[in-house]
């Protein structure tokens, strides 16, 4: 691969909050023109930005899990999100705490958000590794874990400020959700895949 010419001349941290911060980049074009570019990040300092570390460590995790004896339902959450002032369907997900892997975080988050236990499926690294979310505005990346959920749904582990409904959706409900509801794009693509898979075989694509 051809080496990339670095075009970020300087970085300034503009905010200091717990979960998300805004940074101003001094961008230099090929003809030498300077212009500001604004990036949100989970990084707590400029040194932790991915453009500085050159490492793609997962900030968060997404959990794609099947439910039921026939593995014919998918575990979703319907969550209130402030940027929309509305509800949106998503996979259970969350941030990776310091000292844990994104796979450990996924098991924890599924339990906290839904009350369900998680049994991981074998999956190649190419399907699990961290991928970037909305790269035009953030350097956030998320890993994905795949597996099987069991137990009884519960809201007992949810945080006080979370408004989350737990949905165990079969194909008919998934079709309705995609047609009628707000859906996070990463979840939507996986749900399209879920619709095309034979019952109980949604994870066959992991076998490469």
Mean pLDDT of 34-42: 97
**Average pLDDT in the chain:** 95
What is the value of pTM for the model shown? 0.94
Residue 152 has pLDDT above 80, yes or no: yes
Q: Tell me the pLDDT tens digit for each residue of 77-99.
A: 999 999 999 999 999 999 999 99
Q: What is the pLDDT of residue 5?
A: 75
In the chain, pLDDT over 70 holds for what percent of residues?
98
Q: What is the pLDDT of residue 3?
A: 61
* b (16+ CB within 10 A) / e for 73-94: bbbbbbbeeeeeeebbbbbbbb
Structural element, H or E, at residue 122: none
Mean pLDDT of 129-152: 97
């Amino acid at each position: 691969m051809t080496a990339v010419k670095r075009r970020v001349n300087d970085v300034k941290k503009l905010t200091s909050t717990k979960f998300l911060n805004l940074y101003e980049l001094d961008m230099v074009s090929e003809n030498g023109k300077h212009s500001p570019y604004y990036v949100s990040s989970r990084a707590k300092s400029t040194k932790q930005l991915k453009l500085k570390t050159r490492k793609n460590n997962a900030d968060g995790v997404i959990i794609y899990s099947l439910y039921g004896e026939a593995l014919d339902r998918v575990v979703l959450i319907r969550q209130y999100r402030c940027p929309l002032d509305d509800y949106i369907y998503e996979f259970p997900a969350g941030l990776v705490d310091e000292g844990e892997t994104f796979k450990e975080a996924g098991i924890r988050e599924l339990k906290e958000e839904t009350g369900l236990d998680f049994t991981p499926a074998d999956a190649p690294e190419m399907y699990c590794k961290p991928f970037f979310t909305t790269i035009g505005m953030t350097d956030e990346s998320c890993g994905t874990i795949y597996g099987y959920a069991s137990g009884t749904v519960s809201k007992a582990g949810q945080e006080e400020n979370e408004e989350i409904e737990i949905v165990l959706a079969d194909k008919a409900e998934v079709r309705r959700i995609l047609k009628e509801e707000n859906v996070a794009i990463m979840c939507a693509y996986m749900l399209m895949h879920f619709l095309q898979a034979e019952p109980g075989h949604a994870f066959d694509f992991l076998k490469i």
